[in-house]
Structure 1
Amino acid sequence: MFDSFRTLARWTGWANQRIYSACSELDPTEYFRPRACAFGSIHRTLNHLLATDRIWLARLTGEPHNIPSLDYEVCVDFSSLRDARFVEDVRIVETTDLILDKDGCAGNLSFNSMDGTPRQMPIHLVLSQLFLHHAHHRGQVHALLSQTAVTPPALDLTYFPGAAG
């Protein structure tokens, strides 16, 4: 069952490439435009995903991160955000594979939440959180794109070539 996480890791990168490709068609005014959404714009929503990935991957690998808040703007422009997204998507696949190859999601992850509260969570739920969180916020960006002239891309797992058994 946990091998599904390998597919979800790769689907996440594929879906991110598709959403970033669509966003690249926006002029900067539309891309940065304030919108009624949790993080205030397409740009800030995509930044949130990058920031939270860095937090969760740091927790999973034991490495430090420099993300001070969930709304931290990691990259101020689209180009650098897209480049950083690609690197992070590779890290998601590598980290997921390492976890699955090592112990198949056995055990718990101990970490401090962003407010410093000690927490513990089963590793399989941490990976679930990572992929569900992506689907949630990518869906928000998808909806925000529908308010522009750019057609949002199909992102469902059923369209992902790697999902075919």
Structure 2
Amino acid sequence: MNAAYFQMFARYSQWANAHIIAACDTLDQIDLDAPREAFFPSIMKTLNHLLVGDTLWMARLRGEILQMGLADTPWPLYDDYKAARIAVDDSMINYVDTLDDAALADVLTYKNVAGVTYATPRNVIMGHVFNHQTHHRGQLHSQLISAGHPSLEIDMIYFARLKGYSQ
């Protein structure tokens, strides 16, 4: 994978997250916290898990140590979550824009949340980050439908067509 590929995915992620945010903007905090079917049992808990994961990975990629649990809810209020999500999406774009193909091939050594040390190429990590987001955005999509929101069109192909990545 080359740097341009991950730059496209960072922008897709920001775009898809903006659609999730727009859908969540139509709900009140009670609806966001209400029990829903998915691995994380509410929209807010699923949103938080995604943002915790992205925050942890961005810290690791920058060589920072950050202690958070994958089920933590550091942004229990939607407005706080929304501000943090927008900031992290901007940060991810800024980060991937600094990478070249050689940097993506570099191996990063880091500790996971359990303290186990791993060494993984950056391109594999970046692939995981964007795949993880897609996985949980699918769960959010289902949770939003259960909250009465219409289905979202956030597949990658819609973004690619809109932004000229597919001709």
Please report the TM-score for the alignment, with normalisation by the length of structure 2: 0.92
Q: CA deviation at 1:100?
A: 2.6
Native 8 Å contact 2:67 2:113 kept in 1 = no
Are residues 1:95 and 2:95 paired? Answer: yes
Please report the TM-score for the alignment, with normalisation by the length of structure 1: 0.93
Aligned-partner Cα distance in 1 for 2:94–2:6: 12
Instruction: Give the direction of change, closer, same or farther, for the CA distance of 1:153–1:57 in structure 2 (3 Å limit).
Output: same
Q: CA deviation at 1:104?
A: 4.2
Q: Which residue of 2 aligns with 1:111?
A: 110
Q: Which residue of 1 aligns with 2:154?
A: 155
Q: Which residue of 2 aligns with 1:28?
A: 29
Native 8 Å contact 1:52 1:70 kept in 2 = yes
| Identical counterparts, % of pairs | 32
Aligned-partner Cα distance in 1 for 2:124–2:103: 12
Q: CA deviation at 1:128?
A: 0.2
Aligned-partner Cα distance in 2 for 1:162–1:109: 31
Return 5+ residue gaps in structure 2 as ranges: none
SS in 1 for 2:105: coil
Return 5+ residue gaps in structure 1 as ranges: none
Are residues 1:137 and 2:146 paired? Answer: no
Native 8 Å contact 2:36 2:146 kept in 1 = no
Native 8 Å contact 2:103 2:122 kept in 1 = no
Q: Which residue of 2 aligns with 1:70?
A: 70
- In angstroms, what is the RMSD of aligned CA positions? 1.4
Aligned-partner Cα distance in 2 for 1:109–1:11: 24
Aligned-partner Cα distance in 1 for 2:148–2:113: 37
> For 1:32-79, what per-residue CA distance to the aligned partner results, in whole angstroms no more than 9, with x for missing partners?
101222111000000011111111001101123242x10111211111
Q: CA deviation at 1:82?
A: 0.5
SS in 2 for 1:119: strand
Native 8 Å contact 1:7 1:163 kept in 2 = no
Q: CA deviation at 1:28?
A: 2.3
> For 1:108-162, what per-residue CA distance to the aligned partner results, in whole angstroms no more than 9, with x for missing partners?
1111111111111111100000000000001100011111221132101111123
Corresponding letter in the other structure for 1:86? I
